[in-house]
Structure 1
Amino acid sequence: MDLVTNEVSLLVLDDGQQYELEDKFKKLGIRFYKLKDIWIRNPFDYIKYEKAVDQFFKNHHAFDIIHLHASSKNYYILKCAKKYNIPVRIAHSHNTGFQTHNKIKIFVGNSMKKNLNKNATHYLACSELAGNWLFGNSKDVRIIRNAVNLDQYKFDMKKRLEFRKQLGIGDELAVCNVGRLEKQKNHEFLLEIFSEVLEVEPSAKLFLIGTGSLKNELTKKVELMNLEKNVVFLGFRKDVADLLQAMDIFLMPSLHEGFPVTAVEAQAEGLPCIFSSTITPEVKLLPETCFLDLNTNPKVWANKIIEIFKSYKRTDKKDILTSLGFNLKLETAKLMDFYKGEIKKNDKK
């Protein structure tokens, strides 16, 4: 980011896919850079990655701020930013664990945290838990909430009825999960929970919003469990706010999370939420939001879902979330003030 010219640039690794957000960013006047044919799968890829990052900063270093939204394996971006004298180098933690169960990769990731911390000048996190995981307890971590546009996610009964009709939902229970179809999100356990729900509410529907590498595997599991009539894969959607209006329960049994934005969005709509206890308790924004242990029998989760479904009435939650710091307009202004303040400090040096 260059605050003198108000130019913002994005640097991403090219995973070979084209994302819709790219066009949206470009329309906003944001410069978009991709490191072509760079994707870290093994140690040899990392050598290639380092060369590409160094070359990028050699050619593009007229920035006031580098804001890294990645974990420790991408510490080299901040190291190069430091090499080319970019004064403000922000590391931002969005998670509480690595997206792998590979012990070697976890060991390497943990060993790289020291380099990340050494090359950053500022430490941001979406929650205290996320900050402690990546930076440790000794760092001065600034919390930037994963806020949302509360006007967009305001509960609307008219929209609810409209989208329930579109999805073919009548009076039956509608459960949903929003997230990538990846191991971290724990969809297999989610399906076990839903199978127990069907024992009591046989007409219930489960809507999975998102896409990912486990799509085929999960589709097969749905077939093996004879859930095809009740489980709907909606894929990547641009109308998540409207889809949430139609749901009755938001279920997130993730293995780990930082501070999931979708959890904020669901609560902003007054949608009752059940999260795994592995997710930071900071995500509980409403009294009715609850947590269950992943070691708890799926039937216990199912009973909680049905209990909420039969008793809960949704209302507008905008004022509550604004008071808790989850209004996107206010948090954006807070971040911009932070940027400007740090630039002024460096200008005086």
Structure 2
Amino acid sequence: MDRAGTETMIMNLYRSFDRERYQFDFLVHEERACDYDGEIEQLGGRLYRLPRFNGINARSYRRAARALLAEHPEWAIVHGHIGSSAALYLREARRLGRKTVAHSHAQHFPLSAGEMAFRVVSYPTRFIADEFLACSQVAGLDRFGRGVVAGPHFHALKNGIAVERYACDAAAHGEAKRRLGLGVGPIIGHVGRLTEVKNHDFLLEVFGLLLQREPGARLVLVGRGEREDELRSLVAERGLADAVVFYGVTDDVASVLKGMDGFVFPSHREGLSVALVEAQASGVPCLMSTGVPPEALIGSSSLRLPLDAGAARWTEALLGLLATEDRRVEGALHVREAGFDIEESSRWLMGFYDDLLGRVAPRYSGASC
């Protein structure tokens, strides 16, 4: 699995779960080895692979899912995080008597042919799953509709993180910034897939304006994705190559966040970004779009702005955040108070599973991710 928000959230939960009480197996749609495969196996999980659902292979995909589920009667719960094929594998799971959970992690993206197709194939899920979870109310409404969200089988589960790992003070920030080796100017960061919905074009526009005011500024992009080559070309075209760092994927995002002076997140749409929660736990002042649900705004050093306010307004807001008094030490406290501690999230989910199974705790709880 790659380090995207959904995978990060699942792994945060998996690490903190009582694995004598519940163990996860993972149904994935990748033949290649992915970022978390080794850790999953070390923690006792097993990986199973299905061909990726593409819309025209519905019949063969359904047969493959049915056969795999039938081979594993120990999977008492099938908890689905992939929305495009959820209506298929959750239906097969229910037919075999398993408890089924559909989980929404994102709001709808801007309309496109691909997004319209996703809405069509995912729509029946709301009539199939036993229970529904989402990272925010908005993510639940967009995926499952008002009828489900207003009903007794919907719950919002916050994307918890290991808060202490991200806790930071002024001294830790200074040391982390020195380790990054990008100079004494402000370091602006972004963590997320290099994909269209993250709106990196606007981010680069904002950073370009900031650079005119702060020539020593640097932009660190943590993540990878299908737009990387395109974005590298755009950076070069705008004369930003010396100031933008494509950091790639790292197992130690916490250290990078601690070295940042500001965090900019101009996504078109988000369910509830794990990266934003992590950044705010590190006390980094965060500037985010109103495409991010208001639940993601934590503490007093963060701000939401609409994208149509324009890059100039965003730049002024970012300069304002950079000029505020250093309050990093408060970040972890605010995130914990807002209910984003992974220990709290995992305790809730284990109780949810207990209730779903009538408080029978099996060895294996299947997870499709």
Deviations 1:146-170 (A, max 9, x none): 0111110101434322322222233
Return the offset for 1:223.
0.5
Paired with 1:60 and 1:260, the residues of 2 have a C-alpha distance of 33
Task: Tell me the equivalent position of 2:33.
Answer: 18
Task: Tell me the equivalent position of 2:316.
Answer: 303
Cα distance change, pair 295–262 in 1 and its aligned pair in 2 (3 A): same
Counterpart check, 1:196 vs 2:209: yes
Counterpart check, 1:28 vs 2:37: no
Paired with 1:171 and 1:5, the residues of 2 have a C-alpha distance of 48
Deviations 1:11-47 (A, max 9, x none): 1111x43222110010000111112xx2234x32334
Deviations 1:251-284 (A, max 9, x none): 0000110000111111111111111111111111
Paired with 1:318 and 1:216, the residues of 2 have a C-alpha distance of 35
**Contact 1:127–1:144 (CA<8 Å) still a contact in 2?**
yes
Q: How does 1:267-278 map to 2 (within 5 A)?
A: 267-278=280-291
Secondary structure at the aligned position of 1:295 is classed as: helix
Counterpart check, 1:55 vs 2:67: yes
Counterpart check, 1:320 vs 2:334: yes
CA RMSD of aligned residues (A): 2.1
Task: Tell me the equivalent position of 2:25.
Answer: 9
Cα distance change, pair 345–246 in 1 and its aligned pair in 2 (3 A): closer
Counterpart check, 1:177 vs 2:190: yes
Return the offset for 1:287.
2.5
* Unaligned ranges ≥5, structure 2: 1-13, 362-369
**Contact 2:102–2:131 (CA<8 Å) still a contact in 1?**
yes
Cα distance change, pair 20–12 in 1 and its aligned pair in 2 (3 A): same
Secondary structure at the aligned position of 2:178 is classed as: helix
Deviations 1:36-63 (A, max 9, x none): xx2234x323343223212212222332
Letter in 2 for 1:284: L
Counterpart check, 1:65 vs 2:77: yes
Secondary structure at the aligned position of 1:146 is classed as: coil
Q: How does 1:117-156 map to 2 (within 5 A)?
A: 117-139=126-148, 140=151, 141-156=154-169
Letter in 2 for 1:68: G
* Unaligned ranges ≥5, structure 1: none
TM-score (norm 2): 0.87
**Contact 1:72–1:116 (CA<8 Å) still a contact in 2?**
no
Task: Tell me the equivalent position of 2:170.
Answer: 157
Deviations 1:150-191 (A, max 9, x none): 110101434322322222233311100000001111111111
Paired with 1:200 and 1:55, the residues of 2 have a C-alpha distance of 61
Choose from 106, 112, 137 the match for 1:95. 106
Paired with 1:67 and 1:181, the residues of 2 have a C-alpha distance of 27
Q: How does 1:142-291 map to 2 (within 5 A)?
A: 142-291=155-304
Counterpart check, 1:116 vs 2:125: yes
Q: How does 1:73-92 map to 2 (within 5 A)?
A: 73-86=85-98, 88-92=99-103
**Contact 1:113–1:135 (CA<8 Å) still a contact in 2?**
no
Secondary structure at the aligned position of 1:8 is classed as: strand
Deviations 1:75-122 (A, max 9, x none): 211001011111x21011100014x7533x333322334420111000
Deviations 1:207-227 (A, max 9, x none): 000011111110000000010
Secondary structure at the aligned position of 1:62 is classed as: coil
Which structure carries more relative contact order (alpha carbon 8 Å, separation 6+)? 2
Task: Tell me the equivalent position of 2:115.
Answer: 106
Secondary structure at the aligned position of 2:288 is classed as: strand
Letter in 2 for 1:340: D
Number of aligned residue pairs: give it: 339
Paired with 1:256 and 1:130, the residues of 2 have a C-alpha distance of 10
Return the offset for 1:7.
3.5
Letter in 2 for 1:136: G
Task: Tell me the equivalent position of 1:343.
Answer: 357
